[in-house]
């Protein structure tokens, strides 16, 4: 049959389009098109009026009408000529046999109408489903009850709100031991936020002294990022060989606590004019107040641009930039020459200055424009006479450039720390926070909730452990000079012990983590294999103290003062000098630490 073999003719049939696709919107009378005879047994509801209607007879009549209609459709389709593409040839009128419907037997009804009707309806449903699937997006509406009956329960294109694209970027951060971690950050993440994220991932102690360092190995430069700087923006100014380092820096905001150590009187202009009677608070206010005009002055070794030679010039640092005097120490405007601008530049510490740039001293620093990546032509290389002078120049540069932003960066951690309870500071790692104090003295163990009792129990446990270790030294040692393994290696698990490093390496580590009073580390002695060395920073100077083993009543101890104060192990020694000054110039306050990411 033409209808079963050619579905396109059925879809484009002029009578089936109106009768089948829109059958729900028409009455039975509308289904009977011109050229088809309406059965005489049909009952009109209009002529019934108020009479009773026989529903069963009405249903039977409607069924017989539909069967006659489908039979007429099939006969009409067989007699209608088709074009090659399946379209109806409208130029030829329908056959005359379609104008009058002859009575058909029940057997003929089954043979002719039933198979055609079922195949036609199925094909129409498949084509209609395919049409809807291809024309509408397959996004179901999660709230169909909110749609009106006239609207489709499927979301139309563009009905969903446009989501803002999230700009993320991968940043690689290195630690001191060479390990690195790739972190996915947002475009607006600051250096402080990234440090907080790395502290959490590395399970470090969060004491607000971690910092992100911009390191340029080819140029021999590095600097600590300010907490408010955007990491992505800084990375865009770095070269391919440059990288970020994650390390401690205790001296980042130390000048707010003790500004006198950072600003010598002979280097501050207004201190000389007032004979050094300006208080510390006024000293910082002059830097933070944008309306004031502070000035740092002194002699610097300046490297000439494009040359290898250095010249010692009298320089002064102001809000407008760094100037040098062309005539002695004169600061008259006609004798001042601009060396570097503060606005679009950053100040860096110079590492390996003598090797890379033939620097006259080890206290070099550099003012690098942001547009410079790996070129050395536009770098303004400078050298100070000592560490204190270099720290003064670099600190003044930061204060003059950022002003109150630095003070806000300093105060934010202090305010957060004040809001936390006393027992939650400093924030420890996840593993340490999960520990609780327990009392197993009774038959059933109990959790010690009282903080004072928990601290007392910890001290008692420490003393008991040292007594046990002392007995092990006496019983297990073959001689006083060969103590037990526990007392000789227990300190190697501590962060402040750095093993067999040289004297120069200990200097470099302490300088990197900030020259503040009380910064220390312990290392093996290079001259005495049985001794240790305490490296300590005081007044921006690094000092070394040797820890020697000593014997008392057949037991071996460690002492820092030739046996006057003896300790069973290095942990006990460090804990003592963290609480007592003793023979040291200051207490042990901060320890140098290296964390593997």
Using DSSP bridges, classify how beta strands 243-248 and 296-303 pair: parallel, antiparallel or unpaired: unpaired
Euclidean distance between CA atoms 340 and 422, whole angstroms: 46
Euclidean distance between CA atoms 408 and 410, whole angstroms: 5
Q: Is the pLDDT of residue 469 over 90?
A: no
Return all residues near 312 (Cβ < 8 A) that are at least 6 apart.
299, 300, 301, 302
| pLDDT at residue 577, as a whole number | 94
* pLDDT tens figures, 128-161: 666 555 445 556 666 655 555 555 555 555 555 6
**How high is the mean pLDDT of the chain?**
75
Using DSSP bridges, classify how beta strands 221-224 and 243-248 pair: parallel, antiparallel or unpaired: unpaired
For residue 474, what pLDDT band results from cuts at 50, 70 and 90? very low
| pLDDT at residue 438, as a whole number | 66
| pLDDT at residue 463, as a whole number | 59
Query: What does the angle CA 166 – CA 231 – CA 415 come to, to the nearest 5 degrees?
Result: 100
Euclidean distance between CA atoms 37 and 466, whole angstroms: 114
* pLDDT tens figures, 183-208: 999 999 999 999 999 998 888 888 88
| pLDDT at residue 352, as a whole number | 87
Euclidean distance between CA atoms 428 and 242, whole angstroms: 32
| pLDDT at residue 250, as a whole number | 93
| pLDDT at residue 244, as a whole number | 96
Q: Is the pLDDT of residue 451 over 50?
A: yes
For residue 387, what pLDDT band results from cuts at 50, 70 and 90? very high
Q: Is the pLDDT of residue 517 over 90?
A: yes
| pLDDT at residue 543, as a whole number | 95
Euclidean distance between CA atoms 522 and 570, whole angstroms: 9
- Return the beta strands (E) in 478-591 as ranges: 519-524, 532-538, 541-552, 555-559, 566-567, 590-591
Task: Please give the residue that has the higher pLDDT: either 26 or 514.
Answer: 514
Mean pLDDT of 529-545: 93
| pLDDT at residue 16, as a whole number | 42
Per-residue DSSP letters for 169-225? EEEEEE-TTS-EEEEEEETT-BHHHHHHHHHHHHT--B-S-EEEEEEETTTTEEEEP
Q: Where along the chain do its domains lie? A: 2-135, 168-248, 254-410, 477-591
| pLDDT at residue 473, as a whole number | 46
Q: Compute CA distances 40 → 62, 96, 428, 439, whole Å.
A: 12, 20, 95, 102
| pLDDT at residue 274, as a whole number | 55
What is the share, in percent, of the chain residues with pLDDT greater than 90? Answer: 39
Mean pLDDT of 372-388: 90
| pLDDT at residue 258, as a whole number | 85
| pLDDT at residue 38, as a whole number | 45
Name the architecture of domain 254-410. Roll (2.30)
Task: Please give the residue that has the higher pLDDT: either 132 or 530.
Answer: 530
Euclidean distance between CA atoms 586 and 541, whole angstroms: 12
| pLDDT at residue 376, as a whole number | 85
Mean pLDDT of 543-562: 89
Q: How many CB atoms lie within 10 A of CB 524?
A: 16
Mean pLDDT of 73-81: 48
* pLDDT tens figures, 320-339: 999 999 999 899 999 999 99
Pull the structure tokens for residue 12.
Answer: 């484009």
Using DSSP bridges, classify how beta strands 168-174 and 243-248 pair: parallel, antiparallel or unpaired: parallel
Q: Is the pLDDT of residue 34 over 70?
A: no
Pull the structure tokens for residue 362.
Answer: 């080890």
Q: Is the pLDDT of residue 259 over 60?
A: yes
* pLDDT tens figures, 164-183: 666 889 999 999 888 899 99
Q: Is the pLDDT of residue 286 over 80?
A: yes
Task: Please give the residue that has the higher pLDDT: either 217 or 125.
Answer: 217
Pull the structure tokens for residue 273.
Answer: 């004019």
Helices 280-288, 387-402: axis angle to 10 degrees equals 50
| pLDDT at residue 467, as a whole number | 55
User: What's the gap between Cα 509 and its chain centre?
Assistant: 27
Instruction: List beta partners, residue 298.
Output: 315
Mean pLDDT of 357-374: 92
Q: Is the pLDDT of residue 532 over 80?
A: yes
| pLDDT at residue 46, as a whole number | 41
| pLDDT at residue 504, as a whole number | 93
Residue in the block written with tokens 């006259």: 360
| pLDDT at residue 161, as a whole number | 61
| pLDDT at residue 140, as a whole number | 63
Q: Is the pLDDT of residue 445 over 80?
A: no
Q: Compute CA distances 138 → 133, 149, 201, 509, whole Å.
A: 7, 19, 41, 61
Q: Is the pLDDT of residue 65 over 90?
A: no
Task: Please give the residue that has the higher pLDDT: either 430 or 563.
Answer: 563
Pull the structure tokens for residue 41.
Answer: 């047994």
Q: Is the pLDDT of residue 558 over 60?
A: yes
Q: Is the pLDDT of residue 280 over 50?
A: yes
Classify burial at 421, counting beta carbons within 10 Å of its beta carbon; exposed 0-12, middle 13-18, buried 19 or more.
Answer: exposed
Residue in the block written with tokens 């070099």: 364
Euclidean distance between CA atoms 368 and 374, whole angstroms: 10
| pLDDT at residue 554, as a whole number | 77
Lowest-pLDDT choice from 283-292, 301-310, 366-375, 572-581: 283-292
The domain 477-591: what is its CATH number?
A: 3.30.505.10
The domain 168-248: what is its CATH number?
A: 3.10.20.90
């Amino acid at each position: 049959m033409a209808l079963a073999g050619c579905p396109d003719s059925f879809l484009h049939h002029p009578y089936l389009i109106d009768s089948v696709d829109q059958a729900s919107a028409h009455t039975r009378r509308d289904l009977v098109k011109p050229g088809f005879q309406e059965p005489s047994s049909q009952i009109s509801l209009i002529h019934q009026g108020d009479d009773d209607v026989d529903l069963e007879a009405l249903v039977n009549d409607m069924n017989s009408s539909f069967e006659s209609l489908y039979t007429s459709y099939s006969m009409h389709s067989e007699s209608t000529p088709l074009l090659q593409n399946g379209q109806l040839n409208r130029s030829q009128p329908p056959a005359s046999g379609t104008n009058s419907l002859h009575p058909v037997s029940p057997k003929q009804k089954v043979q002719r109408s039933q198979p055609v009707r079922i195949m036609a309806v199925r094909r129409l449903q498949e084509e209609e489903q395919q049409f809807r699937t291809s024309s509408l997006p397959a996004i179901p509406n999660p709230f169909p009850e909110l749609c009106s009956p006239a609207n489709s329960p499927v979301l139309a294109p563009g009905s969903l709100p446009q989501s803002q694209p999230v700009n993320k970027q991968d940043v690689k951060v290195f630690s001191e031991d060479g390990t690195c971690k790739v972190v996915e950050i947002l475009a607006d993440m600051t250096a402080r936020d990234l440090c907080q994220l790395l502290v959490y991932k590395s399970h470090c102690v969060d004491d607000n002294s971690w910092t992100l360092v911009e390191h340029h190995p080819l140029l021999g430069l590095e600097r600590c990022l300010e907490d408010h700087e955007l990491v992505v923006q800084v990375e865009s100014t770095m070269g391919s060989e440059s990288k970020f380092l994650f390390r401690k820096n205790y001296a980042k905001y130390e000048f707010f606590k003790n500004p006198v150590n950072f600003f010598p009187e002979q280097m501050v202009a207004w201190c000389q004019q007032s004979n050094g009677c300006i208080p510390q608070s006024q000293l910082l206010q002059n830097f933070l107040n944008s309306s004031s005009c502070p000035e740092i002055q002194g002699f610097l070794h300046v490297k000439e641009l494009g040359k290898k030679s250095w010249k010692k010039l009298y320089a002064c640092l102001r809000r407008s930039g760094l100037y040098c005097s062309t005539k002695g120490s004169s600061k008259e405007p006609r004798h001042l020459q601009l060396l570097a601008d503060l606005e679009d530049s950053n100040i860096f510490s110079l590492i390996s200055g003598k090797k890379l740039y033939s620097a006259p001293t080890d206290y070099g620093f550099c003012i690098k424009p942001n547009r410079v990546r790996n070129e050395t032509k536009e770098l303004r290389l400078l050298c100070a006479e000592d560490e204190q002078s270099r720290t003064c120049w670099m600190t003044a540069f930061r204060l003059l450039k950022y002003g109150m932003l630095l003070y806000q960066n300093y105060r934010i951690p202090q305010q957060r720390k004040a809001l936390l309870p006393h027992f939650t500071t400093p924030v420890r790692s996840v593993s340490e926070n999960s520990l609780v104090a327990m009392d197993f003295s009774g038959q059933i163990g109990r959790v010690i909730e009282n903080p004072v009792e928990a601290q007392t129990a910890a001290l008692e446990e420490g003393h008991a452990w040292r007594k046990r270790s002392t007995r092990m030294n006496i019983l297990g040692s073959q001689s006083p000079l060969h103590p037990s393994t526990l007392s000789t290696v227990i300190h190697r698990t501590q962060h402040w012990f750095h093993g067999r490093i040289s004297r120069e390496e200990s200097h470099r580590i302490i300088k990197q983590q900030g020259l503040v009073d009380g910064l220390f580390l312990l290392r093996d002695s290079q001259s005495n294999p049985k001794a240790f060395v305490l490296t300590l920073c005081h007044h921006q100077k690094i000092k070394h103290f040797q820890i020697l083993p000593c014997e008392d009543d057949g037991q071996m101890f460690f002492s820092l003062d030739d046996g006057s104060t003896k300790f069973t192990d290095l942990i006990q020694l460090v804990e003592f000098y963290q609480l007592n000054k003793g023979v040291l110039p200051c207490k042990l306050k901060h320890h140098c630490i290296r964390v593997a990411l």
